[in-house]
């Protein structure tokens, strides 16, 4: 039975950085990813806040992060890990195809999933007019009117990206203050293709084969109205996806991994890095920092220093 030093679950910026440091420390590494590598940044048309890489396309940055790993002989194992349990001298990781892998330590770098609105019509239209990625799907709505829901960085960036191809973009936010960085909000306010609708929630996505309109409700006045749109981009935040680790490590009530400052979890030999951790700041820079810390903590553990 082959036993690797470090199994990393998730090949976003946190997982890729962890792999870089682990390989450079001479450890054998498995890097699992159930989707495409790169995590959330591949959905970003322009990453503008990664030091030393000004204004770079997110997918391109992800490729650049992968390059040194490939050069050191690592390739991504394209499997989702479904469960992880303690095994002799380490851990057993079972993948979606039923294969079991063994590693002496594990780094959880699962990132986050997309939060949904949980309103009527949403489930039916996901992938058929409701999207979570403006950069990937915006072109399908060239010349059409679309809505973006949310008030964070993702929503505002999505609205800006869509304004370049769509005839009109409605940004629907449940409050009147934005979480997004102020310079992005200023750019959005100055864009005359974007109409900002605040204090408003979506209560239904209506349509036959594709979305045709949104039912909106003003949370202050309780007034409702119908907004005709051809597409809907959801950017209402993230949810944890750490079910594979439940029972092995402590998670908070939202399912995010509890760690200490060294990215150690409640289980010796299991570490966590990036957005999957309970934390306040979820940025590319904090994900790569976590990847570094988790990998070096795992190396210390393997060498009996941790």
Closest to 264 measured CA to CA, from 304, 289, 240, 296:
296
Q: How many residues does the chain have?
A: 306
Q: Please confirm, yes or no, whether 166 is among the known catalytic residues.
A: no
Strand order in the sheet with 224-228: 200-207, 211-218, 224-228
Site mask for ligand NAP (CB under 6 A), range 39-68, x = bound: ----------x-------------------
Judge contact between 7 and 103, C-beta under 8 A. yes
- Residue numbers 258-287 binding ligand NAP by CB under 6 A: 282-283
Beta bridge pairs of residue 100 = 94
Applying CB under 6 A, the site for ligand NAP has a residue count of 21
The token duo for 16 is: 């890729």
SS3 category, 150: coil
The closest alpha carbon to 235, from 44, 34, 15, 103, belongs to: 44
Q: Which stretch binds ligand NAP (CB under 6 A): 9-17, 82-90, 210-218, 232-240?
A: 232-240
**Beta carbons within 10 angstroms of residue 103's beta carbon:** 26
CA-CA-CA-CA torsion sign (163, 169, 174, 177): positive
150 binds ligand NAP (CB under 6 A): yes
Under the binding rule (CB under 6 A), the answer on residue 207 touching ligand NAP is no
* Of 46 and 165, CB closest to ligand NAP: 46
Decide if residue 255 touches ligand NAP (CB under 6 A).
Answer: no
Q: Which position's Cβ is nearest ligand NAP?
A: 152
136 in catalytic set: yes
The number of beta carbons lying within 10 Å of the beta carbon of residue 268 is 11
Contact 296, 21 (CB under 8 A): yes
Q: Is 175 in the site for ligand NAP (CB under 6 A)?
A: yes
Does position 289 interact with ligand NAP (CB under 6 A)? The reply is no
Q: Is residue 137 annotated as a catalytic residue, yes or no?
A: yes
Q: Give the residue, chosen from 6, 117, 188, 287, that forms a contact with ligand NAP under the rule CB under 6 A.
A: 117
> Which of 5, 89, 97, 137 is an active site residue?
137
- Residues catalogued as catalytic: 133, 136-137
Query: Which parts of this chain interact with ligand NAP (CB under 6 A)?
Result: 49, 115, 117, 149-155, 157, 174-175, 179, 201, 235-238, 282-283
């Amino acid at each position: 039975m082959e036993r690797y030093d470090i199994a990393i679950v998730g090949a976003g910026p946190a997982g890729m950085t962890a792999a870089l440091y682990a390989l450079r420390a001479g450890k054998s590494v498995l890097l699992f990813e159930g989707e495409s590598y790169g995590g959330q940044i591949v959905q970003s048309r322009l990453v503008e806040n990664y030091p030393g890489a000004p204004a770079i396309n997110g997918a391109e940055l992800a490729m650049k992060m992968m390059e040194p790993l490939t050069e050191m002989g690592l390739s991504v194992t394209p499997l989702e890990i479904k469960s992880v349990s303690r095994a002799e001298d380490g851990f057993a990781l079972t993948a979606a195809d039923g294969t079991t892998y063994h590693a002496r330590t594990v780094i959880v770098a699962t990132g986050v999933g997309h939060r949904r609105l949980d309103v009527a019509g949403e489930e039916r239209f996901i992938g058929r007019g409701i999207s979570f990625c403006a950069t990937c799907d915006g072109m399908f709505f060239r010349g059409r009117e679309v809505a973006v829901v949310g008030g964070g960085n993702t929503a505002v960036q999505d609205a800006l990206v869509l304004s370049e191809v769509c005839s009109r973009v409605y940004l629907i936010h449940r409050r009147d203050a934005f979480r997004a960085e102020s310079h992005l909000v200023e750019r959005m306010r100055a864009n005359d293709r974007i109409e900002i609708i605040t204090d408003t929630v979506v209560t239904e996505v209506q349509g036959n084969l594709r979305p045709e309109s949104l039912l909106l409700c003003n949370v202050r006045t309780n007034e409702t109205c119908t907004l005709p749109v051809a597409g809907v981009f959801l950017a209402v935040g993230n949810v944890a996806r750490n079910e594979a680790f439940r029972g092995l490590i402590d998670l908070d009530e939202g399912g995010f991994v509890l760690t200490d400052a060294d990215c150690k979890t409640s289980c010796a030999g299991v570490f966590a890095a990036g957005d999957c951790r309970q934390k306040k700041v979820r940025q590319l820079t904090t994900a790569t920092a976590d990847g570094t810390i988790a990998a070096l903590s795992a190396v210390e553990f393997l060498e009996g220093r941790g």
